[in-house]
A and B are shown apart, each in its own frame.
Chain A
Amino acid sequence: MAKDHAVEFKGISKRFGHKTANDKVDLYLDRGVIMSLLGENGSGKTTLMNMLAGIYFPDEGEIFIDGKPVVIKSPKDAFDNGIGMIHQHFKLVDVFTAAENIVLGLREEGRLDRRKVSAKVREIAEKYGFDIDPDKKIYEMSVSEKQTVEIIKVLYRGADILILDEPTAVLTPQETGKLFKVLKAMRADGKSIILITHKLNEVMEISDVVAVLRKGQHVATVRTSETSEKELTEMMVGHTVSLDIDRPLPVDPKPRLTVAGLTVKDSEGVTKLDDVGLVAYGGEILGIAGIAGSGQKELLEAIAGLRHIQKGSIIYTPEHEAPAELVGKSPMEIKEAGVALAFVPEDRLGMGLVGGMGMTGNMMLRSWNKGKGIFVDTKAPEKLAEKVLENLDVQTPGIDYPVRKLSGGNVQKVLVGREIASAPSVLMSAYAVRGLDINTSYTIYNLMTEQKMKGVAVVFVGEDLDVLLELCDRILVLCGGKVSGVVDARKATKEQIGLMMTSTDFIHSSPMPGETISQAEAMVAKAREEEERLAREKAEAAAAAAAVAEAEAEAQTEATEEAVKEVEKND
């Protein structure tokens, strides 16, 4: 052997009951290399990495570090071997500062010298290009900042083998860019990095080699430069797949949801939505684009009745029924009216799912109150669970197996599957494919389209502009809580939307002269007219709030400038 590998798995197997999560995995990784670990949901990626990080102990096989066999029984053993893992769910103490969290659990001689810790944290941050304030409390931090703390925590402990489990699932493209820069700096420093992700473009961008797992087995490790997204997908799935989104024209679109002048403040009084107007048609997919935190989440939550609305109206026009105002209704009433929210929260199990129950119990969460009498109906949820299991190919031993024990992506399938299956007339989804493997993501896209063809008004908040442009009929772009425009998804370009995401001054795109006006385009025009009319009506009211808005706008421009720079860099 010429050179010892940084990490090597030899014949590693891990079983949970009858379920084989890893099956005789042979895998190695060298120093100064970034490896992507790819595989479908439930293929055993997290389990394999947990064995390196000392969370699980393998049933069979050996792990070698620098060519020497090691026994990793606990996270501490992992640290002693220079291994650090950043988990999908962060493990930080909210009321402590970044620095305190970083040294937490370290057994150092003598008293804790805060200044020395802070200095060392700063040193690490500088070396790799992190952005961090060691004295900031965790509860004041954004997801990406928390992640930074987790990474520095393992670096502080001297890790030179880093494992990141789906770190980009919760990051904005800008934040992902930053993370990747840091990872490259670490690679230059000779560290070995294992990155789990479902986003193939990221795999191609960042990694040197790609290891693919399928049903717990190691299929192959290939050089990134010698492979393609298509080939990787096929390796992962085991057969050829077509990754196309079918986008039929909307048939007979009718306004289903008309939002006007919607203004929402959060509990601290910060304006999250500012005079938002939109029209969602039955039979179309309305995409919502924007930099993370531009009000997407608040918009959907406001419509679903989960947010206090300062002012504005939300008119819901069901098929064959009179229009109704949703503002002032309870979330339950709104849900019952047929407005479904398939929101995928950062903490999947905390909201929307009951970890200790099986799929059936979780399906019941939507229907438990249906029907007269005191008894719950278990037959319908059972059928629904079977259907979701089949449609989305959920990897579970059975519909009554606690969902907590499923892999991250499969937990998500249960959530999304349930919302889609609730036969809504408005289906809102945010980050529906977060953490889902590519194949399943496309299944979800196609299910959305299926809903659209049934006449459902689909509102789709997404992060991936390519997907939005391929899937949606129209795209509404939010910027800092304001609508910066609505575009025809069949005509718009990524650059155009990127610009609109960072500035509200952007003028609505207009149809190119000489082109036939498509049905979708006509809808854009109609929707725009409607929105403009609403805007005019709200104009007077807005004048009063102008003074406040000005102060806010100032703060906004700063943020905007930064974002523009970011976009320019990315382009």
Chain B
Amino acid sequence: MTEKVPLIRLTKREDMAKSKVWLIRLLAFLLALVLGGLVFLIAGANPITAYSTMIAGSLGKATGIRQVVKVAVPLLGTALALAPCFAMRFWNIGAEGQITMGAMMATFFALKMVNSMPSPVLLLVMGASAAIMGALWAGIPAFFKARWGTNETLFTLMMNYIAIGIVGWLQGGPWEGKPGSQIIPMFDERAVLPTVFGVHIGWILVLVLTFLMYIYMTKTKHGYEIAVLGESENTARYAGMDVRKVMLRTACLSGGIAGLVGFMICSGADQTLYQNVAGGVGFTAITVTWLAQLNPFAMIIISLLLAVLSKGASTIQTIMGVPASISDIITGIILLCMLGCEFFINYKMIFRGHEELPAAPETAAPGVTAAPGKEVEA
């Protein structure tokens, strides 16, 4: 009979200790590094030196760290923006466009209003207008979904191309600096975010935002509405929630934060606007949000990790001549391992012939036992 038992079978795990869960995640990460090392070998580089060069290049020097933070800030900010949408199962993949539109609005004030108000006011106006524009850009697809049930995935995606198109046109037309340059001029320094420890102030902003988002998602009425709506629209309605309102509000909040990220990128990091201002952050952030399982604090770690990878990759490109796209491959491997390990956290594999013995048998003959606290059979 035994040989007919399936070779491997899966059972659902219920309560795995927290420490064990993290141990598995750590192992998965190490495995990803080993696999990444193989990729380096194939590419003709010594994995050990490659990794140490990456670390040295990104975390070894103050300038490296600064650049890592600079990359991580928009990633974290956008991941935070996506979290409430994803919790609601509203697949906003239009952060890219929302960032772009936010940046565009901020740039408008940076270029046209720089002389009409003091710097702090100007920066506030830039930030606020960027947030409003981002909210609007996310609000349009949300409105259509709430009203006519259109598919938000496609809609938000399409909105990206429109946004990028608009900025492309501005860049080559109305806002062009030197005629024929196809470039928007650099911002006046009054329209540039101040720096703290050598990095624009955006990093403090996103850290505060992380904390606020955590509170918003777990402790507020809005957060609860989002969680219920994400699970079942009918139940939300039954509980007296205004489904359309929640959907619209959450999408706008998400777009607003993305717009703010756009402001930070153009005013803090780039100090100008160009078509590719979002640079794929809107998509990479989806990965961050998922890997963090919507937990804002985990997003800090993951966006830093991805930033280290990308900074490290450009270092090894210059120093070792290994193509920077290796970093994309390694990111992919890490992703795969992390997602894969969630499987092992949720399921247990039992190999044939290795069945676990039952937990301490507390059973007597059937019909005689009774659970503690209950009277024994009369």
Contact = CB atoms under 8 A, between A and B. Distances in A.
Interface in B217-240: 219-225, 227-228, 231-232, 234-235, 238-240
Nearest to B220: A374
B221 A71 contact: no
A350 B234 contact: yes
B13 A17 contact: yes
Contacts of B225: 368
Interface stretch (A232-240, A251-259, A310-318): A232-240
Given A69-B1, A374-B221, A240 B235 contact: no
Contacts of B238: 331, 351-352, 365
Most chain A Cβ neighbours within 10 Å, of B13, B358, B359, B375 = B358
A101 to B, nearest CB: 24
Interface string B332-349: 000000000000000000
B133 to A, nearest CB: 25
B12 interface: yes
B6 A60 contact: no
Contacts of B367: 214, 217, 219-220
Q: Assign chain B's interface to a size class.
A: 35 or more
Interface string A305-340: 000000000000000000000000011100100000
Contact of B235 (A24, A239, A351, A369): A351
Interface string A278-297: 00000000000000000000
B6 A71 contact: yes
B374 A368 contact: no
B234 A351 contact: yes
Interface string A348-378: 0111111111000100111011000011100
A57 interface: yes
A62 interface: yes
Nearest to A368: B224
A97 B102 CA distance: 51
B371 A215 contact: yes
A214 B376 CA distance: 13
Contacts of A349: 232
Contacts of A60: 355, 358
Contacts of B61: none
B174 interface: no
A18 B1 contact: no
A238 B220 contact: no
A16 to B, nearest CB: 6
A239 B220 contact: no
A111 interface: no
A357 B227 contact: yes
Given A219-B366, A239-B376, A354 B355 contact: no
Given A217-B369, A218-B366, A353-B235, 6 more contacts: A59-B358, A60-B355, A71-B1, A354-B227, A368-B239, A397-B15
Interface of B: 1, 4-6, 9, 11-15, 219-225, 227-228, 231-232, 234-235, 238-240, 355-356, 358-359, 363, 366-367, 369-371, 374-378
The 7 closest A-B pairs by CB, nearest first: A17-B14, A332-B240, A71-B4, A240-B378, A217-B366, A365-B239, A351-B234
14 contacts: A15-B358, A20-B359, A220-B366, A234-B378, A238-B377, A240-B378, A332-B240, A335-B240, A350-B232, A350-B234, A351-B234, A354-B231, A368-B224, A369-B240
